[in-house]
């Protein structure tokens, strides 16, 4: 579908949402009940789960013939807590400031894929991860996730080990999805890391810190040439398409820790897993030290309607 057609769909959808919102008198967060949301919010309030027409653009999987309903344009939904459609983008209201110890979410890639909700479709249930020489990706992901948790808990953090299905609007000080790759040949080596295209202002810092610490302690190259659109559009932090995703305010990234199909990478991930976990913990600790909770959750987010996919981190 050409961009011009998408723009027409977006504008038409926005007009429809505007009419519905004004007719129902939906109040903006913190507004006075009974007054039009458009006046107080400077835009149109879209309730959680309602379509966000300005975000209706194409993800890589939308063009996949194996998709559940091929050929249909994507439908973005407002995240839990709703959103405000404005002329300069979409405003995501800040959440209530979390209290207590800082929280870290570690997703174990491909764990419990058979229990995904309907909104994620059936295709994820078949994504069981790579394997090589008898080593299963999900087992590597889980092993390293547990090692990360043990180290972070010892430093006073609360850690959630998260399966394929992310809690609705998951809110944490940081979220990281763990995966391992495979190329079918054993030739490729290195790690890959990316954040989403519609996230908060701190993801670049998260990716940079993880990249530096991971490269330094593991000795692996940053395989930037193979960072894909599928990574930057990863469902677990794609709040504009799924309710079961990290909240827009949650700094989030996905890390492909190495290639199981490569003998050196596989040995690192299996036999030197403590070092891998320490590298990741150091990267997360660096981010948490640099970005306090008051910054992460202190302001509304303004998200541009057109996604700009981030450039990969430079090779180290």
Ordered by start, the domain boundaries in the chain are 3-92, 103-297
Q: Are 177 and 234 in contact (CB under 8 A)?
A: yes
DSSP-derived letter for residue 119 is: G
Over residues 134-158, the pLDDT tens digits come to 899 999 999 999 999 999 999 999 9
CA gap 157, 165 in Å, rounded? 22
**Would you state the pLDDT for residue 153?**
99
Residue of higher predicted confidence among 127 and 67: 127
Does the domain at residues 103-297 carry the CATH identifier 3.40.630.40?
yes
DSSP code for 222: B
At residue 67, the pLDDT reads 43
- Cβ neighbours for 229, distance < 8 A, ≥ 6 positions apart: 59, 60, 309
pLDDT average, residue stretch 262-290 = 98
Please determine, for residue 119, whether its predicted confidence score (pLDDT) is greater than 70: yes
Q: What is the pTM of this model?
A: 0.80
Report the alpha-carbon distance of residue 204 to residue 194 in Å, rounded: 9
């Amino acid at each position: 579908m050409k961009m011009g057609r998408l723009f027409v769909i977006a504008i038409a959808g926005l007009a429809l949402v505007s009419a519905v919102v004004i007719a129902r008198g939906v109040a903006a967060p913190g507004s006075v009940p009974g007054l039009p949301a458009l006046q107080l919010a400077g835009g149109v309030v879209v309730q959680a789960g309602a379509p966000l027409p300005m975000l209706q653009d194409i993800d890589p999987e939308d063009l996949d013939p194996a998709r559940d309903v091929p050929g249909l344009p994507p439908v973005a939904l407002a995240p839990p807590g709703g959103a405000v459609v404005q002329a300069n983008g979409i405003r995501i209201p800040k959440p209530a400031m979390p209290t207590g110890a800082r929280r870290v979410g570690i997703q174990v890639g491909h764990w419990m894929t058979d229990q995904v909700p309907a909104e994620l479709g059936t295709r994820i249930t078949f994504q069981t991860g790579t394997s090589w020489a008898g080593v299963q990706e999900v087992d590597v992901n889980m092993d390293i996730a547990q090692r990360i948790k043990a180290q972070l808990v010892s430093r006073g953090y609360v850690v959630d080990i998260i399966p394929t299905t992310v809690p609705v609007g998951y809110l944490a000080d940081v979220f990281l999805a763990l995966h391992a790759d495979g190329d079918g040949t054993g030739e490729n080596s290195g790690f890959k890391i990316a954040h989403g295209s519609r996230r908060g202002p701190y993801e670049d810092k998260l990716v940079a810190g993880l990249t530096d610490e991971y490269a330094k302690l593991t000795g692996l190259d940053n395989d930037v040439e193979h960072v894909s659109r599928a990574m930057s559009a990863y469902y677990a932090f794609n709040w504009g398409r799924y309710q079961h995703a990290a909240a827009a305010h949650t700094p989030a990234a996905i890390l492909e820790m190495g290639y199981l199909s490569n003998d050196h990478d596989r040995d690192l991930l299996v036999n030197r897993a403590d070092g891998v976990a320490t590298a990741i913990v150091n990267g997360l600790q660096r981010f948490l030290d640099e970005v306090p909770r008051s910054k992460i959750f202190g302001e509304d987010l303004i998200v541009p309607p057109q996604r700009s996919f981030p450039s990969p981190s430079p090779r180290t």
